[in-house]
Chain A
Amino acid sequence: DAKTTQPNSMESNEEEPVHLPCNHSTISGTDYIHWYRQLPSQGPEYVIHGLTSNVNNRMASLAIAEDRKSSTLILHRATLRDAAVYYCIREAGGTSYGKLTFGQGTILTVHP
């Protein structure tokens, strides 16, 4: 079971930081955490991924708890374009490599 738990929705104001939480309490040692987002009328788009250490890229930062049972996607300055459904995905190892199991995600609303 590769399920993760996310809040159904969150709201933010433009140019403020956003912290999107994700629980993955049954994660195993070789499972990666991926974040994808889906803008309206588009396919999902890769945001970031990590295993144990915190990760940064031009889009966001990923903070992974020391016990790896939770993680937080951080958008440093939200823009209107960041309004989307954000999916936290646990990629299981072994034969499940590359087969992403999406949950329902968090709907992020960004107010001007």
Chain B
Amino acid sequence: ETGVTQSPTHLIKTRGQQVTLRCSSQSGHNTVSWYQQALGQGPQFIFQYYREEENGRGNFPPRFSGLQFPNYSSELNVNALELDDSALYLCASSSGTSGFQETQYFGPGTRLLVL
């Protein structure tokens, strides 16, 4: 069973630009969640996708958007980058078959720096 992978590992962008981060879930996992982790803080839930549909969203503006594909890959897109978007972005996958109390498997994250 392969783990959750994310790309790129590090990224530098300038304010106002757009960025796309990618995640490859474990095979068979229908649910993917994205989190933002600022330095020294715990991860904050951005949104979740289940079978290619958004299934819940945290307190993040619409310029944060996502896609989930049938091949267990997903994307997080951020438009009009702001300095405060600098953070570690984590994706987590789960099987999505039983709802809550499922184990989430996190990737290593993408470190985004906005200058």
| A interface with B by C-beta (< 8 Å) | 32, 34, 36, 41-46, 49, 51, 85, 87, 91, 93, 95-105
- Across the interface, do A98 and B105 meet the contact criterion of CB distance under 8 Å? no
| Minimal Cβ-Cβ distance residue in A for B101 | A32
- The contact of A46 among B96, B100, B105, by CB within 8 Å, is B105
The interface residues of chain B, by DSSP majority, are classed as loop
CA distance A49 to B35 in the complex (A): 20
Give the shortest distance, in Å, between A34 (CB) and chain B (any CB). 8
Q: Across the interface, which residues of B come within 8 angstroms of A97, CB to CB?
A: 99-100
Binds A, one of B40-48, B66-74, B76-84: B40-48
- Across the interface, do B100 and A43 meet the contact criterion of CB distance under 8 Å? no
Contact (A98, B42) CB under 8 Å given A32-B100, A43-B92, A44-B106: no
- Across the interface, do B45 and A99 meet the contact criterion of CB distance under 8 Å? yes
20 A-B residue contacts at CB 8 Å? A41-B108, A43-B106, A43-B107, A45-B106, A46-B103, A46-B104, A49-B103, A98-B48, A98-B94, A98-B96, A98-B99, A98-B102, A98-B104, A99-B48, A100-B33, A101-B45, A102-B42, A102-B43, A102-B44, A105-B42
- Across the interface, do A93 and B100 meet the contact criterion of CB distance under 8 Å? yes
Q: Across the interface, which residues of A come within 8 angstroms of B33, CB to CB?
A: 98-100
| B interface with A by C-beta (< 8 Å) | 4, 31, 33, 35, 40-45, 48, 55-56, 58, 90, 92, 94, 96, 99-109
CA distance A51 to B100 in the complex (A): 11
| Minimal Cβ-Cβ distance residue in A for B99 | A97
| Minimal Cβ-Cβ distance residue in A for B41 | A104
- Across the interface, do B42 and A95 meet the contact criterion of CB distance under 8 Å? no
Q: Across the interface, which residues of B come within 8 angstroms of A44, CB to CB?
A: 43, 90, 92, 104, 106
Give the shortest distance, in Å, between B39 (CB) and chain A (any CB). 12
Give the shortest distance, in Å, between B80 (CB) and chain A (any CB). 25
Give the shortest distance, in Å, between B105 (CB) and chain A (any CB). 7
- Across the interface, do A49 and B106 meet the contact criterion of CB distance under 8 Å? no
Q: Across the interface, which residues of A come within 8 angstroms of B105, CB to CB?
A: 46
Contact (A104, B42) CB under 8 Å given A43-B90, A91-B101, A99-B58: yes
Give the shortest distance, in Å, between B90 (CB) and chain A (any CB). 5
